[in-house]
Structure 1
Amino acid sequence: MARPKTKEDIQRRLYAESMGRCMNPNCRKELFVDGGDIIERAHIIPFCDTKDNSFENLIILCPNCHTDFDKNFAFSSDEVKGWKQNRKDEFEKIFGEKYKTFNELKIAVFPLLLENKTIYEEYYLNDQKELWNKFENKILINNEKLKKLLENNFNLFQSHESKAFSNLEIVRIFLTHIDEFKATRLDKEKSRYILFPKEINSMFGIEPIEGSFLPSVESLEILISKLNNESKVINISIGNDKPYIEFADGERIFLNDTPRLRQLYYEYGCFRSAKVRLESLNFALKYIVSRGLGFEFLNYNNLREILVNKVKIIFVYEYCLSKMALINLSPEIDSIVVNLHNWNGKSCISMEANNFSKILGVTLLTMDDFYGYISKM
């Protein structure tokens, strides 16, 4: 009678357990080589004696160690059984670390996520079925490492009471995907891959996604200020379809890459309530550019004040700009103050504020007025 095939879910657990190396602690040979793997499954207690094809009675070895165990009797069953516990302890020690910062965690997570993405795109999406079948095991192994790393560092992720605004919730979805990926193997792999939350790649800087702008300009200003203190930012591009922050190392973080930016805000303690909305400010700056004009920020730490043709323009976002709000703003003489909150035309600026602006020597504009003013410039 032929030996029954090891169940698929047990095979996948074994691959994940191995960490991609022979489980003999004195060998630890890399099991993935160019073009495939050299993984072999060995029964700890011979199948002919027990008919035991369980996870507990199986271990992953390289071909040489498998031969030494089965045919050369170089190791006892008790010794080999101990290798499973040794590998578990080793795994816990290496990937069970609690990091102090998200950036430290990112250094450990980034290469694993990137390798998974590369394997999926190169082999599955390119119809390389034979290679996909082999290197899918590498994803299983990487996923086991990722799961341990993430579970031990939940505290480093931005969270929110609403799951739609929570990076921690994205991590939880990803962990569910890892468990499901290990437990099953469907013919239609792509339908399963839909469960993979692409936001996880955004969060760790693998690949940006196009989300919505986080509303607060003030939060962005604080982030830029703190990054500048670390000499990390060299350029800020706003007033276009894909605004971004450019780092000294060449990395760009797009301002609509929501999970990535949300994580940075959390890491640097930048979350502030929105007084000026980023989407509205970006739209106004885009309009200036569309009319063939340039603008410059007076200070990257204050994106609400710009110069256009040597004229200072200050952007606010008020339901109705009041005299008191204008006093608190204290605009310089000859400045232009634009209310981005264009809810009801002229009524967005109170009569008191308009009268007081003449005393201050400044000009107040609704968005409709702003369009005409910029066009004339």
Structure 2
Amino acid sequence: MSRVKIAENVKRRLYAESLGRCMNPNCHKDLFIGDRDIAEQAHIHPYFKTKDNSFENLIILCPNCHTEYDKILQYNLEEVKLWKQIRKDEVNSLFSKKFDAFDDLKREVVPLLLKNETIYNSYYLGNKKELWNKFEAELLVNNNKLKKMLEKNLDLIQSHSKESYSNLKYVATFIKHVDEFEATRLDEEKERQIFFPIEINSIFGIAPVKESILPSTESLEALITKLDEQGKFERIVIGIEDPYILLNEDGKSSKVFFDDTPRLRQLYFEYKCFKSIKVRLDSLNFALKYMNSKGISFEFNSFNNLREITVCGIKMLFIYDYCLSEVGLMQLAPEENSVVINLHNWNGESCISSQAYELSKTMNVTLLTMKGYYPYVNRIKCEK
């Protein structure tokens, strides 16, 4: 009578448990060599006696150790049973490490995510089923490592009581995805419900996702200040369709787009840069984009104050007030001959009070609503 096949979900658990190496603690041979998978499922209690294909009665070994256990009887049953516990302890020791900073976690996580992405894109999306079936085991191993590390370091992931503002929800989804992926059976028998959340790649700086621009200009200014102090800030490109900051990480330049929300949110959390909103970043970018469209150059007076620019020697200050009052203008204390633009356009002409206009004459400053901003920009002529 032929053997009953080992259930696919049991195989998946075994691969995940193995970490991709022979589970004999004195061997640890790599089971993934090039495009070959040399892993073998060995029965702890002999199959011919027990007919037991359970996860608890199986262990992943290299061919040599499997032969030495089954045929040469070099190891006894109690030794081999202990190997499973030893591997479990090794997993917890190696991949349940608590990191002090997100950057430390990132260095361990990113190579595993990239390897999984390569396997998935090359073999699954590439419709190379035979190779996918081989390399899927390696993906299961990597997922197990990632799950252990993330579960131990959830406090390093940005979170919020409102799920739509939280990166932690994406990590929780990824962990559920790992569990489901490990438990699913053959393609013809399964229908996955939880897919890999692409926001994970954004959080760890692998690939951006396009969401909405986080509104606080002040948060971005605070981040630039922190990055600059650490020598990581290179420049900001704003006033374009896809604005970004360019930062240097481990000697490599990378773009952080304003609308790559999970990535930017994680950076704000990591550097403690969340600030209340005074000037909306999307509105500021829109105003500067209009200026760029007219071929007018501007300079920031300081990169950690994006609300103030200089155009043709004139200082321009952007604010975002429902109604700029006389008191509000006094508190701004703009320099003489400067221009103040209220980006808040919901209130129309009433976004600047008549009293503020009167005071501006005394202060010798120009106040503009967005309606007045466009013709003002069109009249700008810089001396060559």
- TM-score, structure 2 normalization: 0.96
* d(CA) in 1 for partners of 2:130, 2:287: 53
2:346 to 332, 343, 346: 343
Per the TM alignment, residue 325 of structure 1 is displaced from its structure 2 partner at its CA by 1.2
SS at match of 1:52: coil
Per the TM alignment, residue 187 of structure 1 is displaced from its structure 2 partner at its CA by 2.0
Per the TM alignment, residue 36 of structure 1 is displaced from its structure 2 partner at its CA by 2.7
Q: Which residue in the other structure is 2:359 paired with?
A: 356
Contact 2:184–2:190 at 8 Å: present in 1 too?
no
Q: Deviations over 1:172-199 (max 9, x none)?
A: 1111111100000352799738621110
Q: Which residue in the other structure is 2:220 paired with?
A: 220
- 1:1-377 alignment, distance < 5 Å: 1-187=1-187, 192=192, 195-248=195-248, 249-377=252-380
* d(CA) in 1 for partners of 2:265, 2:52: 50
Q: Which runs of 5+ in 2 are unaligned?
A: none
- Counting matched residue pairs gives 377
Aligned pair in 2 of structure 1 residues 361, 210: CA closer, same or farther (>3 Å)? same
* d(CA) in 1 for partners of 2:96, 2:374: 57
Contact 1:186–1:192 at 8 Å: present in 2 too?
no
Q: Deviations over 1:281-306 (max 9, x none)?
A: 00001000001111111100000001
Q: Which runs of 5+ in 1 are unaligned?
A: none
Contact 1:201–1:208 at 8 Å: present in 2 too?
yes
* d(CA) in 2 for partners of 1:189, 1:376: 68
* d(CA) in 1 for partners of 2:373, 2:193: 48
* d(CA) in 2 for partners of 1:370, 1:190: 58
* d(CA) in 1 for partners of 2:180, 2:241: 38
Which is worse superposed, 14-23 or 98-107?
98-107
* d(CA) in 1 for partners of 2:106, 2:147: 13
Aligned pair in 2 of structure 1 residues 191, 259: CA closer, same or farther (>3 Å)? farther
Q: Deviations over 1:28-47 (max 9, x none)?
A: 11111111311110001110
- Equivalent residue letter for 2:256: I
* d(CA) in 2 for partners of 1:30, 1:327: 71
- Equivalent residue letter for 2:254: E
* d(CA) in 1 for partners of 2:188, 2:143: 20
Aligned pair in 2 of structure 1 residues 198, 191: CA closer, same or farther (>3 Å)? farther
- Equivalent residue letter for 1:70: D
* d(CA) in 2 for partners of 1:185, 1:334: 72
SS at match of 1:354: helix
Per the TM alignment, residue 49 of structure 1 is displaced from its structure 2 partner at its CA by 1.0
Q: Deviations over 1:338-374 (max 9, x none)?
A: 0000113211100011100111110000001000000
* d(CA) in 2 for partners of 1:152, 1:43: 32
